[in-house]
Amino acid sequence: MSLVNRMLQDLERRHASPAERQYLPDDIRPIPNRGWQIRSREVLLLGFVCVAVLGLSLWYFYGRQLTPISTAAQPAVSAPVPVPLPPQTVVAVAPVIQAPVVSVAPAQALSRLVPGRTNIPTPPARQQAANSALPPPAASLATLPKDSERSAVAPKQLLDVSPPTIEKQIRHTTPRERAETEYRKALALLNKKLTDEAYAALQAALREDPGHAAARQAMASLLVEQQRVDDAKTLLEDGLAQNPQQPGLAYLLARIQVERGDLKSAAEVMQKSLSSTSNADQHAYYAGVLHRLGRHKDAVGEYQLALRQSPQTGVWWMGLGLSLEADGRATDAREAFQRALSSGNLPAQLAEFVDKKLR
Q: How confident is the model at residue 182 (pLDDT cuts 50, 70, 90)?
A: very high
Q: Which amino acid is at 137?
A: P
Q: Are residues 341 and 268 in the same domain?
A: no
Average pLDDT, rounded, for the chain: 74
Please give the average per-residue pLDDT across 314-330, as a whole number.
Answer: 94
Residue 195, pLDDT above cutoff 70: yes
Q: What local confidence, expressed as pLDDT, does residue 244 receive?
A: 86
Residue 149, pLDDT above cutoff 90: no
Cα 105 from chain centre: 44
DSSP 60-79: HHHHHHHSPPPTTTSPPPSS
Give dist(CA 359, CA 343) in Å, integer: 18
Is the Cβ–Cβ distance between 333 and 325 less than 8 Å? yes
Choosing from 243, 273, 303, the residue where a domain stops is 273
Q: What local confidence, expressed as pLDDT, does residue 169 receive?
A: 58
DSSP at 80: -
DSSP 10-25: HHHHTT--TTTTTTS-
pLDDT tens-place string over residues 21-67: 555 555 556 665 554 444 567 778 888 888 888 888 887 777 665 55
Read off the CATH number of the domain in which 337 is found.
1.25.40.10
Q: Cβ contacts of residue 181 below 8 Å, gap of 6+? A: 173
Give dist(CA 138, CA 101) in Å, integer: 11
Is position 84 within any domain? Answer: no
Q: What local confidence, expressed as pLDDT, does residue 18 receive?
A: 61
Residue 302, pLDDT above cutoff 50: yes
Q: Are residues 318 and 257 in the same domain?
A: no
Q: What local confidence, expressed as pLDDT, does residue 129 receive?
A: 45
pTM of the predicted protein model: 0.51
pLDDT tens-place string over residues 238-289: 999 998 888 889 999 999 999 999 999 999 999 988 876 678 999 999 999 9
Q: What local confidence, expressed as pLDDT, does residue 221 receive?
A: 92
pLDDT tens-place string over residues 162-180: 555 665 655 658 999 999 9
Q: Are residues 228 and 314 in the same domain?
A: no
Please give the average per-residue pLDDT across 188-212, as a whole number.
Answer: 92
Q: What local confidence, expressed as pLDDT, does residue 30 receive?
A: 60
pLDDT tens-place string over residues 74-124: 444 444 445 455 445 444 444 444 444 444 444 444 344 344 444 444 444
Q: Are residues 231 and 286 in the same domain?
A: no
Choosing from 240, 273, 306, the residue where a domain stops is 273
Give dist(CA 283, CA 306) in Å, integer: 6
Higher model confidence: residue 186 or residue 150? 186
Q: What local confidence, expressed as pLDDT, does residue 316 receive?
A: 95
Q: What local confidence, expressed as pLDDT, does residue 120 receive?
A: 42
* Structural domains counted in the chain: 2
Domain region containing 253 = 178-273
Give dist(CA 205, CA 201) in Å, integer: 6
Q: What local confidence, expressed as pLDDT, does residue 107 receive?
A: 44
| Lowest-confidence segment of 10-14, 53-57, 127-131, 331-335 by average pLDDT | 127-131
Percentage of the chain exceeding pLDDT 90: 43
Choosing from 248, 273, 298, the residue where a domain stops is 273
DSSP 139-168: --GGG---GGGGGG--HHHHH--PPPPPPP
Q: What local confidence, expressed as pLDDT, does residue 78 receive?
A: 47
Residue 218, pLDDT above cutoff 80: yes
Q: Are residues 198 and 234 in the same domain?
A: yes
Q: What local confidence, expressed as pLDDT, does residue 359 receive?
A: 86
Reduce the DSSP state of residue 126 to 3 states and report it. helix
Is position 121 within any domain? Answer: no
Residue 5, pLDDT above cutoff 60: yes
